[in-house]
Amino acid sequence: MSDKKFIDLETRIAFLEDAVDDLNKLAYQQSKEILQYQETLKTMSQHVKQVQSDIEEFKPQNEVPPHY
């Protein structure tokens, strides 16, 4: 194999290694963001359930009329 071909292959491998490292960093960042979004969604879901429960308690149909 000629020196030029060998240098070209080394250059391509170096470029691919950099690309893989960049993609790994991106995947890690996205994974962290997804975990944060999941935690936020879980918290919001719990909050919505609590608000729905509170609303159910104060519906007029659950109130006893004054003559009872």
Identify the H or E element spanning 4. helix 3-57
- Entry pTM: 0.65
* Beta strands in 1-68, from DSSP E residues, in sequence order: none
Question: What pLDDT tens digit does each residue of the chain (68 aa) get?
Answer: 688 999 999 999 999 999 999 999 999 999 999 999 999 999 999 999 999 888 877 766 666 667 75
The predicted structure's pLDDT at residue 28: 98
The predicted structure's pLDDT at residue 63: 67
The predicted structure's pLDDT at residue 66: 72
What distance in Å separates the CA atoms of residue 44 and residue 62, rounded to the nearest whole number?
Answer: 26
